[in-house]
Amino acid sequence: MKNTTSDFDKLNHLLQAAFAAEKVYYNASEDAQETHLKRFLGYMATERNRMAFDISNELSSRHITPSVPFSEKGHTDRNWKEIKEALVNYNPEELILNCIGWDKTLVVKTKELLDNQKLPKEVLDMLENNHKKIQWYIKQARQHLVSHFKVESDKAKDSSHDSKVISIKKAQ
């Protein structure tokens, strides 16, 4: 099993993607107007942070400097017009679907590293564990759409048919 720098570079890119997904979930939780959605998205942001922490630890234990030491959260660069836009055009379904899109990026990047099998076994085990978790969290997010926003379609639960359009209606 040969460890090349490019494999650890890819792991660093996965770290960046995990932090980006965490930020998206965190910012979505800040924008959410329903308590249950704020809690759900906040929990999901925490889970992305745990994944990023695992990756960062694996890199650091091999004396590789993580490309991103932490995630900057919040909408630090928003002006008042963007804040107003977020409040006026609030759509909880779009928030969740946007977060799921970032999770799918994590799945693809993780799968690529797992398929290469060039990283140490401990790293591959951690990646396999995170891969399973992220797939589970995608299912949970889709279920949240179904249970709280009455998404009309089984397609909302099926992560393998990402290109299909789903019909969404807000719960009454």
Encode pLDDT of 7-66 as tens digits.
899 999 999 999 999 988 998 898 888 899 999 999 999 999 999 999 999 999 999 888
Instruction: Name the token pair of 84.
Output: 């107003």
- Provide the pLDDT for residue 144: 86
Domain carrying residue 111? 5-69+76-168
Q: Per-residue pLDDT tens for 105-135? A: 999 999 999 999 999 999 999 999 999 999 9
Task: Give the residue carrying structure tokens 């970032």.
Answer: 102
What is the full DSSP assignment across 75-87? Answer: -TT--HHHHHHHH
Q: How many domains does the chain have?
A: 1
| Cα distances (angstroms) measured from residue 65 to each of 98, 130, 138 | 30, 21, 29
CATH number for the domain including 156?
Answer: 1.20.1260.10
Question: Which amino acid appears at position 9 of this protein?
Answer: D
Q: Does the global pTM surpass 0.95?
A: no
- Provide the pLDDT for residue 131: 97
By the 10 Å C-beta count (0-12 exposed, 13-18 middle, 19+ buried), 96 is classed as buried
* Percentage of residues in the chain having pLDDT higher than 90: 52
- Altogether, the residues listed in the chain come to a count of 172
The residues facing 168 across adjacent strands are: 151
